[in-house]
Amino acid sequence: MPFIADPIADMLTRIRNASMARQPETTMPTTKILVAIAKVMRDEGYIGGYEITEAKPFNTLTIQLKYTPDKRPAIRELKRVSKLGLRVYRGRDELPRVKSGLGVAIVTTSQGVMTGYEARRRGVGGEVLCTVY
């Protein structure tokens, strides 16, 4: 697998760039955390779906992007919150609300990767990975 210092930031940048270029999909090297983030984004309706392709020397994750009927990307804003140099942890009462509830925060908790809303509902906090709007 090629060395990528921050695979989550790389994933978000690839999605952002591909959606601005109106590409139907984007691919990247896969990790478990990236698959978990893609699952949350699919469940929340921000991407059409994802697919893992097994190949040598590394597996690839292909994300199908979603657009509105007038060809605008479904994802308007994608931000990395917790970075390599500054991790951002929040308790269940401090999890961010994105754009007054219109967007989602993706959080990794002891119970897995989920939205900030789901983490609040379950009463757990964790590391805020990114926000999607």
Measure the CA–CA gap between 28 and 58, rounded to whole angstroms. 10
Considering Cα of 23, then 25, then 29, then 33, what sign does the dihedral take? positive
pTM, full prediction:
0.94
Classify residue 91: in a domain, yes or no: yes
pLDDT in tens, the chain (133 residues): 578 899 999 999 999 999 999 999 999 999 999 999 999 999 999 999 999 999 888 999 999 999 999 999 999 999 999 999 999 999 999 999 999 999 999 999 999 999 999 999 999 999 999 999 9
Q: Which amino acid is at 22?
A: R
My answer on whether 11 and 55 are in the same domain is yes
Q: What pLDDT does 4 receive?
A: 87
Q: Do residues 83 and 9 lie in contact, with contact meaning Cβ atoms separated by under 8 Å?
A: yes
My answer on whether 60 and 83 are in the same domain is no
Q: Measured between alpha carbons, how far is residue 95 from residues 10, 41, 105 in Å? A: 23, 18, 8
Classify residue 70: in a domain, yes or no: no
